[in-house]
Chain A
Amino acid sequence: MNWTRTHALVSGLGLIVLVNAIALTGVAWNRSEPADSRLHLSERELDNSYSYWRKENNSIALRLDYRWPRREADDNRSPPLNAEKMAELGFSVPSELNEDSVQRYRRQLDRDALLVLELDGPSYQRELKLARDHYETTKHLYEIALINKRLKREVEDTRQALEQEQHRASRLFAIDAGLDQHRLRTRYPDRQRYAIVRGKVRVAANSELLDWSGEGPDPRPQAQRWAWQIGGYAEIPVAHSLNLPKRWHAVFDSLPRGKALPGLPYASRDKVFTAEVVFGRRLEPWIMQVQAGQP
């Protein structure tokens, strides 16, 4: 073996060991106490149904299923992060909204940010209340006009939506974003309910047609008929796949399946479980424990 080969061998092995050591030290640091937060999630928040190329991959990964609270009762088009929050996250937000300024706003690229996830908290209770109110209102309207078929179907739909919200929908909500972990933790001190995670934020802008309430054809120029809404969305890169360690595979395989609910037309075949997910010092999650839930 000449010098070059020896040199290559030592350098290569050194690089392999060094990179693994750095990665594993980071993992050890992340998992050392105290952890940043611990959430007790269920199959509602940890999705196991994503089976892309499972035939070729026998490991088990769960997807962290989180939602954004609705901005208004009937408004699903507003971006979940408003313009003020986007400015706080470092985006340049125009003071005046027009075609040109929105175009410039849209050109901005994704940025890093910290997101706050809330488990079974006020946001979920609000969603539950909105679903319940919607159902109650529709039911009341139907009781007044009994023969309205459309209302009858709507009552059934809203009842199913309420059942879904009560028993199956994720109770995990992304409720806030920021750049300073300490400030976010001060604002959300309950570590059993609020997890802070790393995310990426992207800009979003929608336009909405403003109603014309006057008489005759709308005289407004095109630019004045539309109202711009700017804000942003965020996503959590590690949420797509949380590795389930081998020691929990046997438990996971023996988990009971969900039963059909009386109010819902289809039965969930998801495995029913609860899992303790810990978010460490580097805000990276891992699954600490899995146990069977009540089907």
Chain B
Amino acid sequence: MPTLNRSDAQQRADDIGVFNRELARLEAEQVLQLSEPQRASLHEHQQHLLHSYRAAFDIDHNSQARQLSLGMRIASFLGALALAASLFFLFYQFWGLFGEISQVAILLSASGSSLCLTLWVQRRDSSGYFSKLAALVAFTCFVLNIVMLGQIFNITPSDKALLPWAAYALLLAYACGARLLLAAGILCVLAFIAARVGTWSGIYWLGFGERPENFIPAALLIFAVPLLINQRRFEGFAMLYRVFGLLALFLPILVLANWGAGSYLDYPADPIESAYQLLGFVAAAAVIWLGVRREWPDVVNTGLTFFVIFLYTKLFDWWWESMPKYLFFLVLGLTAVAILLILRRLRSGHSLLGGTAQ
């Protein structure tokens, strides 16, 4: 498998465990009996595979190891955040002790050395926990580098800083397989494109958040990335692109469906809100359909979540004031039951939507 990643390796290791348990049952029930040479050959092949996966990806070889891995991921995440915050305050605490040239030299060397350290750790750390932690610290160093240069030399704040931050976060994310940094990079790209779209219409760049439509072109671009560039080698990256793309699409629609005054469209708020409510339902349904068809559970779940949010928001608008509360919540409950029934029907008749029946 030329593009094997950690997820694939873990899946294969799990499959080997399941296969061995089933083989033992079949032998106990005397349905299948392997000869000794066959058993030895099978065992040798499995051990070879597992050994190579453990060496390359530090996979979990049993359920206890898997639970510990989850704990390590959480510790790595919290540790990375704490180290980044520590670095941030360390800079500020001793900043005044240095002249401008020393400050620039410190910033540059901190960025460069943290990058080298990250790549050095990555070479030695097959688990990835420590290299991801180091990568987040390196990213913090680079963000501080640009922010502090701006402060030292009183540079006018600009959205252009988002672009190198995005590039650096993506570079580290791909180098270390760090999903947290991929998320940071995607957010920087989203903010940069939204700010650019805003400044084309003449507004001050920091005002981009006040027109939610600024995010929609960036959302479509982010969603399309895994379709245009294969992310097979990077575990969970394609899913992150799709989810962030959808969040950047649906959140502005949700905001505009309830706050028409925030739109670029120069019409009264009511028709704008109605149009975005309709768009929200249509887009959520289309996304569910696409997710089922392409077998993207993350897309199905995100689409479904927003479909339910749009539906509940609409029900709230219509009936919260006029209905007794018990009736209102009964309607919500019945709606949830209806959604469950529809989803069950979709699951059983999966091929109706064009997906592959399992």
Measuring CB to CB, which residues of chain A are less than 8 angstroms from any residue of chain B? 1, 4-5, 8-9, 11-13, 15-17, 19-20, 23-24, 26-27, 30, 53, 56-61, 90, 104, 107, 109-112, 198, 200, 237-238, 241-243, 245-247, 249, 282-286
B119 with A8: CB separation less than 8 A: yes
Q: How far is A8 from B172 in the complex, measured between Cα atoms in Å?
A: 8
Residue numbers in A under 8 Å from B146 (CB-CB): 19, 23
**Binary interface profile of B, 156-197, with partner A (CB < 8 Å = 1, else 0)?**
110000001001100110110000000000000000000000
A247 with B156: CB separation less than 8 A: no
A9 with B204: CB separation less than 8 A: no
Q: How far is A285 from B155 in the complex, measured between Cα atoms in Å?
A: 8
User: Distance in Å from the Cβ of A11 to the closest Cβ of chain B?
Assistant: 6
Residue numbers in A under 8 Å from B174 (CB-CB): 8
User: Distance in Å from the Cβ of A52 to the closest Cβ of chain B?
Assistant: 12
**Additional pairs, 4, CB under 8 Å, beyond known A5-B122, A286-B153:** A9-B115, A110-B203, A242-B154, A249-B96
B167 with A109: CB separation less than 8 A: no
User: Distance in Å from the Cβ of B165 to the closest Cβ of chain A?
Assistant: 9
Give the contact-size bracket for chain B.
Answer: 35 or more
B203 with A111: CB separation less than 8 A: yes
User: Distance in Å from the Cβ of A58 to the closest Cβ of chain B?
Assistant: 4
- Given A8-B175, A109-B207, also A16-B155 (CB < 8 A): no
Residue numbers in B under 8 Å from A26 (CB-CB): 155
Q: How far is A20 from B104 in the complex, measured between Cα atoms in Å?
A: 9
Top-8 shortest CB links A-B: A58-B96, A8-B175, A110-B204, A59-B96, A109-B207, A109-B203, A57-B92, A200-B204
Residue numbers in A under 8 Å from B63 (CB-CB): none
Residue numbers in B under 8 Å from A24 (CB-CB): 104, 149
Residue numbers in B under 8 Å from A59 (CB-CB): 92, 95-96, 151
Task: Report the nearest A residue to B153, measured CB to CB.
Answer: A27
- Tell me whether B94 is interfacial, beta carbon within 8 Å: yes
- Tell me whether B353 is interfacial, beta carbon within 8 Å: no
B-side interface mostly: helix
A60 with B93: CB separation less than 8 A: no
User: Can you identify 21 A-B contacts, CB atoms within 8 angstroms?
Assistant: A1-B123, A5-B175, A9-B116, A12-B171, A15-B171, A16-B115, A16-B145, A19-B146, A20-B111, A20-B145, A30-B153, A56-B89, A56-B92, A57-B92, A57-B96, A59-B95, A61-B151, A90-B202, A110-B204, A111-B202, A238-B157
User: Distance in Å from the Cβ of B248 to the closest Cβ of chain A?
Assistant: 20
Q: How far is A241 from B142 in the complex, measured between Cα atoms in Å?
A: 21
Most chain A CB within a 10 A radius of its CB, from B89, B98, B172, B202? B202
Q: How far is A109 from B152 in the complex, measured between Cα atoms in Å?
A: 29
Task: Report the nearest A residue to B160, measured CB to CB.
Answer: A22
Task: Report the nearest B residue to A13, measured CB to CB.
Answer: B112
- Tell me whether B56 is interfacial, beta carbon within 8 Å: no
B172 with A12: CB separation less than 8 A: yes
A58 with B171: CB separation less than 8 A: no
A109 with B211: CB separation less than 8 A: yes
User: Distance in Å from the Cβ of B45 to the closest Cβ of chain A?
Assistant: 27
Q: How far is A179 from B96 in the complex, measured between Cα atoms in Å?
A: 36
A23 with B167: CB separation less than 8 A: no
B108 with A16: CB separation less than 8 A: yes
Q: How far is A112 from B261 in the complex, measured between Cα atoms in Å?
A: 22
Task: Report the nearest A residue to B205, measured CB to CB.
Answer: A112
- Tell me whether B266 is interfacial, beta carbon within 8 Å: yes
Find A9's partner among B119, B168, B198 (CB 8 Å cutoff): B119
- Tell me whether B97 is interfacial, beta carbon within 8 Å: yes
- Tell me whether B2 is interfacial, beta carbon within 8 Å: no
- Given A56-B93, A59-B96, A285-B154, also A23-B149 (CB < 8 A): yes
User: Distance in Å from the Cβ of B172 to the closest Cβ of chain A?
Assistant: 7
Task: Report the nearest B residue to A28, measured CB to CB.
Answer: B153
User: Distance in Å from the Cβ of B234 to the closest Cβ of chain A?
Assistant: 12
A12 with B261: CB separation less than 8 A: no
Task: Report the nearest A residue to B174, measured CB to CB.
Answer: A8
Q: How far is A213 from B97 in the complex, measured between Cα atoms in Å?
A: 66
Q: How far is A56 from B94 in the complex, measured between Cα atoms in Å?
A: 9
A15 with B167: CB separation less than 8 A: yes
Residue numbers in B under 8 Å from A282 (CB-CB): 156
User: Distance in Å from the Cβ of B329 to the closest Cβ of chain A?
Assistant: 37
Q: How far is A112 from B204 in the complex, measured between Cα atoms in Å?
A: 5
Residue numbers in B under 8 Å from A20 (CB-CB): 104, 107-108, 111, 145, 149
Residue numbers in B under 8 Å from A5 (CB-CB): 119, 122-123, 175
Residue numbers in B under 8 Å from A243 (CB-CB): 151-154
User: Distance in Å from the Cβ of B298 to the closest Cβ of chain A?
Assistant: 26
Q: How far is A110 from B203 in the complex, measured between Cα atoms in Å?
A: 6
- Tell me whether B206 is interfacial, beta carbon within 8 Å: yes
User: Distance in Å from the Cβ of A20 to the closest Cβ of chain B?
Assistant: 6
- Given A12-B172, A15-B167, A58-B97, also A284-B155 (CB < 8 A): yes
Q: How far is A172 from B146 in the complex, measured between Cα atoms in Å?
A: 30
Scan residues 210-243 of chain B and give those whose CB is less than 8 A from a CB of chain A.
210-211
Task: Report the nearest B residue to A7, measured CB to CB.
Answer: B175
Find B99's partner among A8, A23, A246 (CB 8 Å cutoff): A246
- Tell me whether B22 is interfacial, beta carbon within 8 Å: no
Residue numbers in B under 8 Å from A30 (CB-CB): 153
A19 with B151: CB separation less than 8 A: no
